[in-house]
Chains A and B, each alone.
Chain A
Amino acid sequence: MTDSSSWDWSIGKRQIADITQWKETFGYVEEPYVSPDGEKIAAIIKTEDMEFSVCENGNAWENAFDKVWFLRYSPDNRLTGIVSDTAEWTLAVEGEAWENKYDFAWNTIFGRDGKSMLLMTQADGEYSVLINDVPWEETFPYMTNLAGNADATRAAAVAQTIRFSEGDIFAFQKGCYTVAVDGKVWDTNFVNVYEPVFSADSAHVAAQVRTSLYDYTIVVDGEPWPAVWPWVWKAAFSPADGSVTAPVKTPEGWTLARDGHVFWGQRFAQLWHHVYSPNGMSIAAIVAPKYGHWTVAIDGNAWKKTFNDLVTDLVLSPSGRRAACAGKENDRYTIAVDGTPWPFHCDMAWEPVFSPDEQHVAAKIEKDGQFTVAVDGKPMKAQFKNLWNPVFSPDGEKIMIRAIEGSGDKETYVRQVLPLTEILG
């Protein structure tokens, strides 16, 4: 996790950048991105020579490129972008391109502390992975579904191991895909493989597979579960005991299976995106108890409140005792916490954030083209042209707002730390 204790948590508002000035200086300015600590804001720009570069807090990178895209901050506040120079692609960190370059590079993944980062690469039609500028030795005819372990020092991806011609439907059905972990493939091929995932200790990898056109199961470290189902979704490892769970479709409905056996007694019209509490003692999932009615189930028990459009962005509190999600009904969003929706609707709601002490929940919301933050169901009075997800202080008593202020064409980026009481009263 990111250690935010060293960040500036003194109460007050600081203007970090005048975006209007950037636009006057550079002309071409893409949408900005903000560092997790709120101290930096950056956007892709074009130079006078019509090359791409990056402006951070008003200062352009010294280097310019043929193209920059996927500008993102790492959790430790380093600015990265995927860059191309004379048709060679790689990752640039703080303006400096990595040495290894490819015909294409994409899908940057960061470790949770930001120290390590990885991305997918392609050169001469061969696909591989680059971790901290160190490439895998192995390459494959195709790779997809890239995943990193928690600290992004290891990677897994779906890899094609057998080439086949387009139209050779029977070769495909024999199985041409498996999982590559740190470049090493599992022994068995499958018809399809989806969404590899690492265990909490990074020692194991599980994935969904289709073993024929009709049978799905979960494979852990290359070993399929003994049972198959007509449909499964993404697996997850228990942080407590390393067991593997996945949603599976039984004749009676969707439920959760563990290590190859049905685990939950309840059945649902749909069940997906299950998540563990950090201690592994609790599992939450997005479920539809009835067709077209969406909610959250904790350890198989669904909230009474349901949403007719969707439920998304399910999060558990640090201890797993509380859960929150975004829900949409009749085309309007809200946040629901522990089964109770907040008392308003908005045009969009972002992933809710628990305070470290679990006492509070905050979320970015949008209404009528204006953005604000709501805490425990109460929106701030201030509205912004845009903002990023709120961040709680380590003691849970303050909240950081990272926002674009201004009216008309004027836009400034401000970093504000507020006592929670200012919002909650």
Chain B
Amino acid sequence: MGEPASKIEVKNIKDIGLDEGAARLTPERIEKVINEVIDNETGARLKVYVDTCVHCGLCSEACHYYLSNDKNPVYAPAGKVKQTLWEIVEKKGKVSPDFIRRAAELCYTECNLCRRCAMYCPFGIDVAYMMLTMRRICHKLGVIPQYIQDTAQSHSATMNQMWVKEDEWIDTLFWQEEEAAEEIENLRIPLEKEGAEVMYSVIGPEPKFRAQLIYQAAVIMDVAGVDWTMPATPGWDNSDMAMYTGDNEMMGRLKKEHFETAMRLKVKKIVMGECGHAFRSVYDMGNRAVGWKMPPVQMVHALEFYYDLFKAGKIKVKEKYDKPVTLHDPCNVIRGRGLHEMARYVVNKVCETFIEMTPNREHNYCCCAGGGVINCGPPFRDKRVYSNRVKADQLAATKKKGVEVCIAPCHNCHGGLEDIIHHYKLGMELKFLGDIIYEVMEKPE
């Protein structure tokens, strides 16, 4: 196993976004911004949470940061609130730039907003909400880690998180269509097909780094006979780092663009790829930021989509995947949406040997990449990896039972687990569920 976190130096991390942002602050501005956010953007929810917590500490054992850092109370969920919002509320915004600098690093890089602790709180206090409120304050103060702020700015300029230009997006789809058509004759990635049943949406990294996932999705759509389309305009990206920086106005703009693209194409549902945070944005936070209580167009996560395809017999398995696998449950689609049994149905359909990691389903530990933490970039990589020793333990335990492959149906989970597998020398492969479905499904000769 890997070395204990306490031996690793993860303090005094330099980040130009945090450091320069904090250097520009004045006590007056801090107080003004904090009170504006607290007075105008929060209400009974925050007050109830702050007033109700009895500091019992039951949330601590739920947090992978706390557990992985030798139960250091600094990383306990209630401890994180104590170091941020409680202090701010108590002092009515009269806190220093140094305090904001530390609070920003904490809320952006020491909490994945995974909501596991909320399940263990006797009152159901949602610490993620409080960390998001802290992030909102930090956004308003301009104290945000550089990498995730750059991603939010990419969203604002291009409506996608990877600075993908309009033509690059379309060209990538043509490229993937051409490649896939070499495997399946006349396969199409239908662009701008008004009235299709399904709009397929992905996150920015797919055209940028993982274009093969679009290829695989096209093959699955084609073989299953799905009437589908992809947009050739901005609005194709379902992801949302503005949600995680605290730029709620940009979050709303992104979701308006996404859903109105689907409305323009007159599709009945949006099927999205294997991404967790994007699901949180399209199903909960982003849609609600502009007044849609629920997604205005039905939103189907890949896990549910695969489940539907297998249930309907639209995908058949040629030969099951023979390496023993385990399944990582992504927080936003499991705790956030309850897709865990659907995921297991599909895994059992396509894999010969499925071994659960423990704990699992809604009790699973976060990958420690979620909540935008991995998007804060290389400066915080080590802290993120060392702060998820419990995940490494989980994976190592499955390996002892023979697991060779971990399925992680979420992009950020992939990024986080890749680092964990590498750092803790676990020697496991990591796959999306779509990778395996594509590999084992029956395809036209």
Q: Residues on A close to B: CB < 8 A?
A: 27-28, 30-31, 46, 67, 69-70, 103-104, 106-107, 120, 122, 142, 144, 160, 166-170, 172-173, 177, 191-192, 194, 210, 213-214, 216, 230-231, 251, 269-270, 272, 288, 291-292, 294, 308-310, 312, 328, 331, 347-348, 350, 366, 386
Contact = CB atoms under 8 A, between A and B. Distances in A.
B143 to A, nearest CB: 12
Interface residues of B, number: 51
A30 B188 contact: yes
Interface string B374-387: 00000000000000
Given A169-B153, A210-B156, A292 B291 contact: yes
Interface of B: 16-17, 20, 40, 139-140, 142, 146-147, 149-150, 153-154, 156-158, 163, 165-167, 170-171, 174, 186, 188, 190-193, 195, 232-234, 247, 249, 252-253, 256, 259-260, 263, 266, 268, 290-294, 296-298
Contacts of B234: 144
Nearest to A170: B20
A166 B163 contact: yes
Contacts of B156: 191-192, 210
B131 to A, nearest CB: 20
A69 B140 contact: no
Contact of A309 (B191, B232, B294): B294
B147 A167 contact: yes
Given A331-B298, A348-B266, A292 B293 contact: yes
A70 B192 contact: yes
Contacts, number: 100
A104 to B, nearest CB: 4
Given A213-B142, A310-B296, A169 B165 contact: no
* List of 8 A-B pairs having minimum Cβ-Cβ separation, nearest first: A292-B293, A310-B296, A270-B291, A104-B167, A288-B291, A231-B249, A122-B167, A169-B149
A104 B175 CA distance: 13
B296 A167 contact: no
Contacts of A192: 156-157
B100 to A, nearest CB: 16
A106 B192 CA distance: 12
B359 to A, nearest CB: 35
A328 B296 contact: yes
B249 A230 contact: yes
Contacts of B263: 310, 312
Given A69-B191, A166-B163, A292-B291, A347 B150 contact: no
5 contacts: A69-B191, A210-B156, A213-B139, A270-B290, A291-B293
A261 to B, nearest CB: 21
B150 A166 contact: yes
Nearest to B157: A192
Contact of A104 (B40, B171, B256): B171
A122 B171 CA distance: 12
Given A144-B234, A172-B153, A173-B153, 9 more contacts: A70-B232, A104-B167, A106-B166, A106-B167, A144-B166, A272-B256, A291-B293, A328-B296, A366-B195
